[in-house]
Amino acid sequence: TYNVDRDVPDSAGTSTAYLCGIKTNMRTIGVSAAARFDQCNTTRGNEVTSVMNRAKKAGKSVGVVTTTRVQDASPAGAYAHTVNRDWFSDADLPADAQTYGCQDIATQLIYNMDIDVILGGGRKYMFPEGTPDPEYPHDASENGVRKDKRNLVQEWQAKHQGAQYVWNRTALLQASTDFSVTHLMGLFQPGEMAYDIFRDHTTDPSLEEMTEAALRVLSRNPRGFFLFVEGGRIDHGHHANIAYRALTETIMFDNAIAKASQLTSEADTLTLVTADHSHVFTFGGYPLRGTSIFGLADGKASDHKSYTTLLYGNGPGTYQTPTGGFREVWFWLPDFREA
Out of 49-63, 184-198, 276-290, least confident range: 276-290
pLDDT digits (tens, 9 = 90+) for 208-255: 999 999 999 999 999 999 999 999 999 999 999 999 999 999 999 999
| pLDDT of 271 strictly over 60 | yes
Residue 148's pLDDT is 98
Q: Which residues are annotated as a binding site for Mg(2+)?
A: 72, 74, 230
- Which conformational region is residue 27 in: left (phi greater than 0), alpha (psi within -120 to 50 degrees), or beta? left
Could you tell me the CA-to-CA distances from 328 to 65, 76, 206, 296 in Å, in that order?
37, 41, 30, 8
d(CA 92, CA 128): 13
Query: Helix axis angle, 207-218 relative to 169-176, nearest 10°?
Result: 30
Any alpha helices (H) in the chain, and if so which ranges? 11-20, 51-57, 73-76, 95-99, 105-111, 152-159, 169-176, 207-218, 233-239, 243-263
Please report which confidence band the pLDDT of residue 297 belongs to, taking 50, 70 and 90 as the band edges.
confident
Which one of 11, 15, 32, 50 is the catalytic residue? 11
Say which residue, 335 or 144, is predicted with more confidence: 144
Residue 298's pLDDT is 84
Output 146-152 pairs: Cβ under 8 A, ≥24 positions apart: 146/89, 146/90, 146/91, 146/106, 147/89, 147/90, 147/91, 148/90, 150/90, 150/107, 151/126, 151/127, 152/106, 152/107, 152/109, 152/110, 152/125, 152/126, 152/127
Helices then strands, counting H and E runs in the chain, come out as 10, 7
Q: What is the mean pLDDT of residues 7-21?
A: 97
Q: Which of 165, 10, 151 is nearest to 77 (CA)?
A: 10
Q: What is the mean pLDDT of residues 266-288?
A: 92
Q: Which residues are annotated as a binding site for Zn(2+)?
A: 235, 239, 276-277
Residue ranges and CATH numbers for the domains of the chain are: 51-78+104-273 (3.40.720.10), 280-339 (no CATH)
Q: What is the mean pLDDT of residues 56-85?
A: 99
| pLDDT of 288 strictly over 70 | yes
Q: What is the mean pLDDT of residues 53-63?
A: 99
Residue 318's pLDDT is 59
| pLDDT of 61 strictly over 70 | yes
- Which conformational region is residue 114 in: left (phi greater than 0), alpha (psi within -120 to 50 degrees), or beta? beta
Q: What is the mean pLDDT of residues 71-91?
A: 99
Q: Which residues are annotated as a binding site?
A: 72, 74, 230, 235, 239, 276-277
| pLDDT of 126 strictly over 80 | yes
11 is catalytic: yes
pTM over 0.85? The answer is yes
